[in-house]
Structure 1
Amino acid sequence: MNVFDCIVIGGGPSGLSASLTLGRARREIVLFDDGSNRNRVTHESHGFITRDGIKPQEFKEIGLKELENYPSVSYFNTTITEIIKDIGNERFIVKTTDGQECVTEKIILATGIQEVFSIQSVRNYYGKSLFSCPYCDGWELRDKPLIVMAEKEEHALHMAKLIYNWSQDLVVITNGVQLSKEGVTELQKRNIKIKSEPIKNLIGNDGYLQQIEFVSGETIIRSGGFVVPSFYRPNDFAEMLGCEVQENGTVITDGVGRTTQKNIYIAGETEKSGPSSLMISAADGNKAAVSVNTDLTMERF
């Protein structure tokens, strides 16, 4: 069985960037990806210089096409089911749903995160008219009648202040959570309306929001907005491999991708357990790959 220098798990911007850097360093690597990246529901990605407005799938296809220039890089569209540590973490056996087994010296975890919404109908609009990142999608919603949907006061206030830069026609919706008197005053001084009633339904067509219906029967007209979801890692590879994790879910690293476990590296949203931009995730992937290549070089020289 071939022993690879590194296996990269996850084909988002961090995994693609790491694979490109390692391919250019002439390392034998395999990139595994199952197509579950969370931006797959987004119609356009923004803020990545030279690629502003690109479709996420097109971004990925361009990245994969570039990897074809490097013969030491292999790519498989499949899901990792198991990672078995050898004695001393010197090698790992990686198994997939389609029966593949690969042995590698090092692993980069770049599997990203996924959102959780308390209102399930948000999914019907997420990526078209409801978003979570104003830096990614605020420009497209500028000056429109928007909602800010958040169920914690600190999130509602923070997001409302941010979104006010793009649109001053705002309604903050808390789905049954009462804001403090101070919080209400802070929003009202900017004429930001607050609706604390529980939400019954979101109404719209083909992914484009039109109205919010509350349990009282009242409806308000809105054409889009921003939500504050919670996030989780779609797998427990980091914990399973013994990486130390902080209470807030962030994996402890040295700042350039090395975890507390030898030969295990992490990049992008997987490390932070929180959302990140394409550009920052790609930069994280580059840093982790440089750490892998540096360690391989020093260990073998």
Structure 2
Amino acid sequence: MNTFDCVIIGAGPAGLSASLTLGRARRNIALFDDGTNRNRVTQESHGYLTRDGIKPQQFKEIGLNEVKKYPSVSYFSTTVTKINHDQKTALFIIKTKGNQLFTAEKIILATGIQETFPIPSIREYYGKSLFNCPYCDGWEMRDKPLIIIAEKEAFAMHMVKLLYGWSRDLVVATNGTKLSDEALEQLNKRKISIKTEPIKNLIGDNGYLEQVEFESGEIIQRSGGFVVPTFHRPNQFAEQLGCKVLEDGVVVTDSAGRTTIKNIYIVGETEKASSSSLIVAAADGQKVATSVNMDLAIERF
């Protein structure tokens, strides 16, 4: 088997950026991706200078084409199913869905995160009229009648304060959670409606929200909104490889992507188990790639 200097798992903005930097550093790289990036349902991506409004798939294709120009970078469109660490050789053995095996000196985990929603039907509207990031989609939803779906008070208040700059026509829906008197006072002062009863149904057409129905039978008109999901990594690679992970899901690093296990690096949303913008993830990928390259340079000098 050909041994790569580094295997990068995940071709989102973080993984692509890391691949580009390492490819330009003439490192022998393998990049794996299975197309499950969470922004694939988004119509447009925003906030990335020179690429504002680009479709996520187009962004990815541009990145892949740039990375593939470098002959030392190999791209594999497949799922990595298992990573083992060979203690004798100190190499990592990467197994894919097709039972192919690859070996590498170093690993960058860039598999991102996935959402879990408080109401399953949110998935039907997510990326078209329901979103989780005001910086990404707040402008498009400006001045519209919006709903904020958040089951924890802290998250609900954080989101409503953010969105108040984009739209004043807001309804906060906690899906059964009661709010504190302090929170109620703040919201009532600004004439923001509060619905604490569970949501029964979301009503709309082709991914575009029109109404929200509550358990009481009450139906309100909304043109879209924002939801606070919980996030999780789609795999347990970090845990299985022995990396230290905090209770909140954050993988411990030295701030330059090096985990507590030598030669394993982590980047972007995968590290923090929380959402990030394209531009921040790409910058993080470049930073971690320089750590990998510097470590290789020192070890081989």
TM-score (normalizing by structure 1): 0.99
Partner of 2:135: 135
Write the distance in 2 (CA, Å) between the matches of 1:166 and 1:244: 39
Uncovered stretches (5+) of structure 1, i.e. residues with no partner = none
Q: Which amino acid letter does the alignment assign opposite residue 68 of structure 1? A: K
Write the distance in 2 (CA, Å) between the matches of 1:158 and 1:118: 17
Shift of 1:89: 7.4
Q: Which amino acid letter does the alignment assign opposite residue 149 of structure 1? A: I
Partner of 1:110: 110
> Is the partner of 2:140 in helix, strand or coil?
helix
Partner of 1:20: 20
Q: Which amino acid letter does the alignment assign opposite residue 195 of structure 2? A: K
Deviations 1:140-189 (A, max 9, x none): 00000001110011111110010001000000001111111111001111
- Structure 1 residue 144 and structure 2 residue 144: aligned? yes
Write the distance in 1 (CA, Å) between the matches of 2:82 and 2:155: 36
Shift of 1:90: 2.1
CA contact (8 A) 2:68 2:75 kept: no
Shift of 1:88: 6.3
1:197-216 correspondence runs (5 A): 197-216=197-216
Q: Residues 89, 231 of structure 1: CA spacing in aligned structure 2 closer, same or farther, 3 A cutoff?
A: farther
Shift of 1:26: 0.2
> Is the partner of 1:210 in helix, strand or coil?
strand
Deviations 1:83-114 (A, max 9, x none): 11011672111000112111100000000000
1:111-126 correspondence runs (5 A): 111-126=111-126
Partner of 2:162: 162
Q: Which amino acid letter does the alignment assign opposite residue 252 of structure 1? A: V
Uncovered stretches (5+) of structure 2, i.e. residues with no partner = none
Partner of 1:242: 242
How many residues are treated as equivalent by the alignment? 301
Shift of 1:118: 1.5
- Structure 1 residue 277 and structure 2 residue 268: aligned? no
CA contact (8 A) 1:90 1:263 kept: no
| Alpha-carbon RMSD | 0.8
Partner of 2:191: 191
Consecutive aligned runs of 4 or more in structure 1 exceeding 2 Å deviation: none
Write the distance in 2 (CA, Å) between the matches of 1:269 and 1:79: 18
Partner of 2:73: 73
Write the distance in 2 (CA, Å) between the matches of 1:272 and 1:37: 16
Deviations 1:176-232 (A, max 9, x none): 111111110011111111011111100000110000001111100000010000010
Identical positions, percent: 69
Partner of 2:295: 295
Q: Residues 149, 88 of structure 1: CA spacing in aligned structure 2 closer, same or farther, 3 A cutoff?
A: farther
Shift of 1:134: 0.3
